[in-house]
Amino acid sequence: MAIKTTRAVGVDIGGTGIKGAVVDLEAGALLTDRIKVATPQGAEPEDVLAAVKVVLERLEVHDADVPLGVAFPAIVTRGRTMSAANVSDAWIGFEAERFFEDGLGREIHFANDADVAGVAELRYGAARGEEGLVLLTTLGTGIGTALIHRGALIPNSELGHLQRAGHKKDAEAWAAYSAMERDELTWAQWAKRLQWYYSHLEFLLSPDLFIVGGGVSKHADEFLPLLDLHTPIVPAVHRNNAGIIGAAALAVS
């Protein structure tokens, strides 16, 4: 049964930073400043838990009755993390939700970071009211994806790991925003890589809408017009706050 409340806390754990805020669940907006701390080097479970405690302390969230959702860069199945992207391998097969509940002394909802970004856009953003198949991609250190069909999330899609024929590196190693920075690409050069990626997704899934999230989405005008696709493609409404907002929303589902 969904909890009756108008606010919740969302924490978004990433490979380089951990962000959190209190969220207005009716408006899908932050009620507080966004608190950010660095992800501890190595991102071991105990160290990440300690950093999350710092975020909650700075948010002055002491009431366990305020729902808490946590987004994490891994496949998450029934509270267990089944992969590790830019964090310690100790997370693979780890009872993450139970670990955080024990460490924080409260119930939480633990989910994949791209999936919660998809939920934020579904409930409060660019996917709201869309009846077909929506594919959200987050372009950052890697490529996260969220599949939404007729308003329902299909979790753990992991389409950033599609393989390129004849290449050892997967899609995110070739086309993530980090690849643009690493290879010192211009927007036009990076767009050619994105063209391959989104065209391949079109061929495989025939989506009705692409949504592009992650911090780079604030520069959407620099690269989205360079893509030639049959599917409409738009920037995420909530951009880098989508993980926080979606995690908070799922905490009361």
The domain locations on the chain are: 7-116+242-250, 130-236
On the question of a common fold for 7-116+242-250 and 130-236, the answer reads yes
Whether residue 1 is predicted with pLDDT greater than 80 in this model: the reply is: no
- In the prediction, which pLDDT does 15 show? 83
Q: How many CB atoms lie within 10 A of CB 128?
A: 13
Predicted pLDDT at 3: 52
Q: What is the rounded average pLDDT for all residues in the chain?
A: 94
> What CATH number labels 7-116+242-250?
3.30.420.40
pLDDT tens figures, 47-104: 999 999 999 999 998 878 899 999 999 999 999 999 987 799 999 999 999 999 999 9
pLDDT in tens, 126-148: 999 998 999 999 998 889 999 99
What is the model's pLDDT at position 84? Answer: 87
At residue 239, the pLDDT reads 87
CB-neighbour burial class of residue 220 (10 A; exposed 0-12, middle 13-18, buried 19+): middle
The superfamily in CATH containing domain 130-236 is ATPase, nucleotide binding domain (3.30.420.40)
